Structure 1
């Protein structure tokens, strides 16, 4: 907005205001007197331009986007903690809630529901720890061993600006009030560990609502996460004990996997192997499927062709099959695509 307010432009305008019988040449007394003021004014215009960028939500960043979002009742999601299930020996031992354990410099606390919650928010607790033993920081009589079983709720980093802005737009353009569809979606995604949610009104008759969720990694949600969302929204169906109003019966479910198989015949670039090409294509397809999860309903052949066209390992390709067919694949509303395999064969002839 203020790109034209440069130091040179300001100096020219200031000097033009002076009578012509005054020496206005560079390094004259009046020129040297005005130059510092022009420099400071030019810097002020630069700062003012930056302030305008921070005022509007589409260009605001950090705490300034937080303040815009707060105007419509939206807060940035804080980092959440990973939750693991555990295998305990003997299995009937009583471990006090809050007991602390550690493994590989990551610390966990035992919860009353029998899970282990990472003390460090974010993805620190998402590392591969399955079947690894933990060391106790407290004296627990009778405890023989405790091992990690599986990650049931992945930890998430603090919400980034892009995600916060998307939620701000949804809230600003379609108000989530009075238990409308947007309100149920907002409630579900408020629960720590939830990634995205879909809402299906009247799915089983009058007054019923189904909420289907993913976890923070946009994967299938665990039973524990489903239970937490159910308890938050509608712990006693129809009674109004949670966020849902009296008479509304909400049912929370996890999304379902849909396995994806891709087959393609390729002509390799020099110095590439089929194994290397397969690995490169797999990584790009996984990124594509993650972007589609609960956002789009179709996996398009054009997107796969684009991946193959821009792959460094591929010189040419043909016969692309998606789950055995050469056409777009339509997902059901509750399905998340998951790559099972990429079969890469070398073109002949």
Structure 2
């Protein structure tokens, strides 16, 4: 049975003769304390050694080692691609800043509209909008940071990496079958899930639809995935990588409040819950449950009861097509 640091240290001090000063801060105490600490650490590592070896329970660098046996590596962070609108034409490659973040202009979209890549990888690049300041030598031009075109993502989490391992082990990929195309898509940083349609446009064709790490549609990610799949796929197949079609889920209801929250606070909380619920159904369900939406509303803090719940103007489940994903539309709650 493992001992704590305190137990190890006390056991060591008990072996020291009683005529020796062994109070905290004494020479013998200060000499034994580091040794007791490292012995406790070693016991902890030994106790958890088995869990750190197997992919089911490994974490961090230990999980990296476990999945490497299956040819997997953790996906790194990716940079956000944003839309920048300017008051006049600017050069590709100029750099603009907002809230200590820098964005480099990479491509012209339309007149005075550009794609810009955040110089810092991760979700932080998705956060800010508004007026930008030139970092490059630019004068007489204003710029505004707008929509997220491709969301920046943080380094792949342990849970996501483990899920990719399970997907690879449980869905054998061979000779360019559907499972393999899904695995290839998931290897690209920023891809949260993928769905494959073999023979989608006839013999020798494959369609792959993808969503980002937030289970949302990305404008630029399909092109990146397509370029990667072209480097690894078998010769012969014609591959199309695209985004799913968004199906808006609009919700209205009359709400009876319990007095603890305002209708505005309830609506904000409910919106967040709906976004999370819809994201969890992406590529895994072909209908959005009317009853579950009602349950989410009833579980929202501040709601005592509701009536007149309408989902897409109806009172039944909403069907989601095979190439669609549900996205939150207009959510309107009124107080009774």
TM-score (norm 2): 0.79
Q: Select which of 219, 242, 258 maps to 1:253.
A: 242
Note the C-alpha offset of 1:333. 1.8
SS in structure 1 of the partner of residue 49 of structure 2: helix
Per-residue displacement from partner, 1:52-96 (whole Å, max 9, x unpaired)? 1111211111111111111101111111111123345653x6x36
Q: Greater CA deviation, 64-73 or 257-266?
A: 257-266
How far apart, in 2, do the equivalents of 1:104 and 1:43 lie? 41
RMSD over aligned CA atoms reads 3.3
Note the C-alpha offset of 1:146. 4.6
How far apart, in 1, do the equivalents of 2:134 and 2:40 lie? 61
How far apart, in 1, do the equivalents of 2:44 and 2:187 lie? 38
Q: Select which of 174, 193, 197 maps to 2:194.
A: 197
Q: 1:345 to 1:146 in 2, by over 3 A?
A: closer
Per-residue displacement from partner, 1:292-327 (whole Å, max 9, x unpaired)? 223332222332233133222112234433212222
How far apart, in 2, do the equivalents of 1:210 and 1:268 lie? 47
SS in structure 2 of the partner of residue 296 of structure 1: coil
How far apart, in 1, do the equivalents of 2:185 and 2:143 lie? 32
Query: Does residue 169 of structure 1 match 2:166?
Result: yes
Please give the residue correspondences for 1:168-247 in structure 2 after superposition, counting only pairs within 5 Å: 168-222=165-219, 224-234=220-230, 242-247=231-236
Gaps of 5+ in 1: 8-25, 30-35, 235-241
* Alignment correspondent of 1:136: 135
Per-residue displacement from partner, 1:82-140 (whole Å, max 9, x unpaired)? 1123345653x6x364x43322211123336763211111012112325x233033479
Gaps of 5+ in 2: 4-13, 18-31, 33-37, 109-113
Q: Select which of 78, 103, 107 maps to 1:108.
A: 103
Contact kept? 1:81, 1:121, Cα under 8 Å: yes
Q: 1:205 to 1:146 in 2, by over 3 A?
A: same
How far apart, in 2, do the equivalents of 1:172 and 1:119 lie? 36
How far apart, in 1, do the equivalents of 2:105 and 2:261 lie? 49
How far apart, in 2, do the equivalents of 1:89 and 1:273 lie? 41
TM-score (norm 1): 0.76
How far apart, in 2, do the equivalents of 1:164 and 1:337 lie? 25
Q: Greater CA deviation, 69-78 or 294-303?
A: 294-303
Q: 1:273 to 1:88 in 2, by over 3 A?
A: closer
Contact kept? 1:79, 1:122, Cα under 8 Å: yes
